[in-house]
C-alpha cells in the first residue's frame, strides 16, 4: 500500500510531497516508509518497524491524517484500500 500526497506550491517554490509506503520486511514484520520534501529535489526518509500488519496500517492512517490536517491532499493511492 502506498499513498502519495502533495501540498499546493507557495510563492515560486515547487510543491511539497509526502509519500507513505507500507511494505513487508525480511523478518516477517512490516515497515512504514515516510518520504517527504520538495517535488524534484532530494527528500528526507524515515522507516518505522511494526510487528503486525494491523499496527503498521494504523500508523499509516495516523500519518496520512496528520498530513491531511496540515493541508496536503491525496494525489494517488496504490494497493489494497485501508479502512
How many independent structural domains does the chain possess? 1
Decide if 10 is inside a domain.
yes
**Contact in structure between 18 and 30 (CB atoms under 8 Å):** no
Question: Does residue 64 register a pLDDT over 90?
Answer: yes
Q: Which domain holds residue 34?
A: 2-78
Q: What is the pLDDT of residues 15-44, one digit of tens each?
A: 999 999 999 988 889 999 999 999 988 899
**Contact in structure between 32 and 3 (CB atoms under 8 Å):** no
Decide if 83 is inside a domain.
no
Long-range pairs of 41-46 with CB within 8 A, sequence gap ≥ 24: 41/14, 43/17, 43/19
Q: What is the CATH number of the domain that holds 6?
A: 2.20.140.10
pLDDT at 42: 87
Decide if 58 is inside a domain.
yes
Amino acid at each position: 500500500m502506498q499513498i502519495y500526497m502533495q501540498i499546493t506550491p507557495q510563492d515560486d517554490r515547487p510543491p511539497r510531497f509526502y509519500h507513505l509506503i507500507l511494505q513487508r520486511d525480511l523478518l516477517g514484520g512490516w515497515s512504514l516508509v515516510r518520504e517527504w520534501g520538495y517535488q524534484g529535489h532530494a527528500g528526507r526518509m524515515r522507516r518505522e518497524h511494526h510487528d503486525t500488519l494491523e499496527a503498521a496500517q494504523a500508523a499509516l492512517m495516523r500519518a496520512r491524517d496528520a498530513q491531511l490536517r496540515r493541508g496536503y491532499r491525496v494525489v494517488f493511492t496504490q494497493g489494497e484500500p485501508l479502512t
